[in-house]
Structure formats: structure tokens, C-alpha cells
């Protein structure tokens, strides 16, 4: 299929993007990498009145540290993070390059952007899970200036966010360095959307787990952080029995819907298996 008719606007400055979004109204969409938006346009699942192309906007393609936080510009491509060996990424955020390998296929990773994924808010998207895992703030620019939105408040439902109509994502600020982490997911084919995913991270101090994070994808309308499962691991000595107990807790905590990819019971089974694997992998990294 072909997209429904729309106006096309190319912006060169961030302020120009805001002005265009304000002028064009609620039905305008921002175009970054287009790896999520373009298929929706082609299938007419999205029918914006106008597209605002931000690919030529200066100053939105960067990876840098600001204290403990890792700041990633909205136009940073998935592939850039995947191949990064920079010390600012490796120190506390080395899960990000490893997670990027799960995203689609090479052409998608070469074109798609971190900001676009965060703005699209797919509950199975890797960057959305990691935004919750690393306690990220989403930085948006709009008519009233720049503001930060905590990732816990950013994802408001399936493909919906806390952004105002004239705002667009300019940066994702991963606030909490996490030394040991892992992401596991399951899809029918490599590169497909995940049916379920689990992202975990923790530290090991004096032989016990601390600073635990467990986030699930594909089982709710937004990335789901599971505090009950985190509490089981936090303060415990690392062991297979702890991983198994936390994974069972995570599976019991979700209320997944059934669809053509799997019913509720299947998704619970996936969550239990994936969470166990992710916890074991994260611990193996801490011990290596």
C-alpha cells in the first residue's frame, strides 16, 4: 500500500521544528529514521496531515557523559551505539551496545534513531526497556522550552507518550550507570518484533546483589518494571534458585493479553524463561 497524502516539511533548526509542529497542529508527525513510522504510513495505520523531517537538524546526533548520566541525542542511529567502544559508554552503560544488536536488521539499525524509538513508544522496543532500566529522562523541546520527563512518566500506553503536540524528543538521558546487565528476548524470526523481552541489571557488593532492575517488554501497553521481582534479588546471594524465584514472580505479576503470537500462558512462560536467562547472564558478567 501507499501512504495517504500528507504535506512534507524539512527543518534545519530545532526551533524550526517546534514552529512547524505548532503551526501544523496535532495531526503532524516528526520523521527521524522512519523505521517505525514509514511502515505505519504505508499500511495507513498512521495518517498524519504533515511530516516534519528532522534529519538535517544540527546538534541532535551525539553521545556524551554529563556526570554519571549518558546523554544520547535524538538523531543518534542505533548502529552508532551498537558499534561504540567509547569509555563513556563502556563505563556503566555497556548493555546499550549489546542491546542494540537485537534491533531489527542491519539496514534498520543503520537508519533508525534512538529518539525515534523512544518517541514511538513500542512496548517491545529495546530502547524503551532500557530507558526504564537506566532510569532515563526524556528531554523534549516545545513552545514552552525544554523539559525533562522521567521515563516512568513518559510511556503512557501503547504507542503513546507524555509529549505535548508541539514537542519533540531531543535527547534521552540514561541517568543510572549499571555495571552488569543483560537483555534477552524472543521473536519468531531474528529481527522481528519481540513477543516478550526481559532487561535486567544489578551490582554485586560483598557477595550480595544490589541496585536491582528488572523490566519486561511485550507483556503490557508499556515497558513494565517489576518491583516485586527486584525485591527478591536485592540483597540476596546470587544463585540459580534466586533467579528462578524472581522469574516466577515476574511471570505472576504480568497481565498479558492473548493475540496471534501467543496466549497469556505462553507469554508468562516466555517471561519466566527470559528473566531467568537475563539474570544468569548478568551475574556471569559480574563474575568474569
One domain, residues 143 and 208: no
Distance in Å from the first CA to the final CA of the chain:
50
The answer to whether 216 and 250 have CB atoms below 8 angstroms apart is yes
Cα(101)–Cα(81) distance, rounded to whole angstroms? 9
* Cβ atoms of residues 190 and 226 within 8 Å: no
Task: Answer yes or no: do 70 and 170 share one domain.
Answer: yes
Q: What is the pLDDT of residue 258?
A: 86
The answer to the question of residue 86 being in a domain is yes
Residues 76 and 30 in one domain: no
Residue 267 lies in a domain: yes
The predicted pLDDT at position 69 comes to: 98
- Residue 2 included in any domain: no
Given 141, 174, 207, the domain boundary residue is 174
Whether residues 104 and 35 share a domain: the answer is no
**148 and 188 inside one domain:** no
CATH of the domain at 31: 3.30.43.10
Give the gyration radius of the chain's Cα atoms.
19
Q: Is residue 187 part of a domain?
A: yes
Q: Which residue among 19, 34, 53 closes a domain?
A: 53
Q: Which of 135, 154, 174 is at the close of a domain?
A: 174
Indicate if 134 and 222 belong to the same structural domain.
no
Q: CA-based angle 182:183:184, to the nearest 5?
A: 125
Is 58 within the bounds of a domain? no
126 and 226 within one domain: no
The reported pTM is 0.96
Domain membership flag for residue 1: no
* CATH code at position 98: 3.30.465.10
For 87, the 3-state DSSP assignment is helix
In a domain, 34, yes or no: yes
In terms of residue numbers, what domain contains 35? 7-53
Q: Do 93 and 186 fall within a single domain?
A: no
Same domain? For 23 and 117 the reply is no
Q: What is the helix (H) or strand (E) element at residue 230, kind and residue range?
A: helix 227-233
Q: Look up the CATH number of the domain holding residue 238.
A: 3.30.390.50
All cell numbers assigned to 272: 519466566
**Taking the CB of residue 105, how many other CB atoms lie within 10 A of it?**
10
Q: Note whether 165 and 227 are same-domain residues.
A: no
Q: What does pLDDT average to in each consecutive run of 10 residues of the chain (288 residues)?
A: 93 98 96 95 95 98 98 99 97 97 95 98 97 99 98 98 97 97 94 94 97 97 98 98 99 92 94 99 92
What is the number of structural domains in the chain?
Answer: 3
Are 104 and 202 contained in the same domain?
A: no
Per-residue model confidence (pLDDT) at position 221 = 96
Same domain, 98 and 76: yes
Amino acid at each position: 500500500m501507499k501512504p495517504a497524502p500528507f504535506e512534507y516539511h524539512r527543518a534545519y533548526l530545532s526551533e524550526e521544528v517546534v514552529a512547524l509542529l505548532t503551526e501544523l497542529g496535532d495531526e503532524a508527525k516528526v520523521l527521524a529514521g522512519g523505521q517505525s513510522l514509514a511502515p505505519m504510513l504505508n499500511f495507513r495505520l498512521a495518517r498524519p496531515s504533515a511530516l516534519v523531517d528532522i534529519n538535517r537538524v544540527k546538534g541532535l546526533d551525539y553521545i556524551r557523559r554529563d556526570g554519571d548520566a549518558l546523554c544520547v541525542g535524538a538523531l543518534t542511529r542505533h548502529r552508532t551505539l551498537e558499534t561504540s567502544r567509547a569509555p563513556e559508554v563502556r563505563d556503566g552503560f555497556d548493555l546499550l551496545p549489546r542491546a542494540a544488536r537485537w534491533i531489527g536488521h542491519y539496514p534498520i539499525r543503520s537508519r533508525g534513531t534512538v529518539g525515534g524509538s523512544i518517541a514511538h513508544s513500542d512496548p517491545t522496543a529495546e530502547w524503551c526497556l532500557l530507558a526504564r532500566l537506566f532510569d532515563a529522562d526524556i528531554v523534549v523541546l516545545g513552545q514552552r522550552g525544554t523539559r525533562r520527563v522521567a521515563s516512568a512518566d513518559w510511556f503512557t500506553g501503547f504507542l503513546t507518550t507524555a509529549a505535548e503536540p508541539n514537542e519533540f524528543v531531543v535527547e534521552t538521558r540514561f541517568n543510572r550507570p549499571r555495571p552488569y546487565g543483560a537483555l534477552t528476548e524472543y521473536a519468531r524470526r531474528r529481527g522481528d518484533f519481540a513477543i516478550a523481552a526481559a532487561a535486567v541489571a544489578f551490582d554485586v557488593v560483598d557477595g550480595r546483589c544490589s541496585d536491582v532492575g528488572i523490566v519486561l517488554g511485550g507483556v503490557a501497553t508499556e515497558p513494565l518494571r517489576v518491583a516485586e521481582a527486584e525485591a527478591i534479588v536485592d540483597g540476596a546471594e546470587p544463585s540459580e534458585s534466586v533467579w528462578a524465584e524472581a522469574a516466577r514472580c515476574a511471570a505472576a505479576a504480568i497481565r498479558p493479553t492473548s493475540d496471534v503470537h501467543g496466549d497469556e500462558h505462553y507469554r508468562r512462560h516466555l517471561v519466566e524463561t527470559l528473566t531467568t536467562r537475563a539474570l544468569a547472564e548478568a551475574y556471569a558478567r559480574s563474575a568474569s
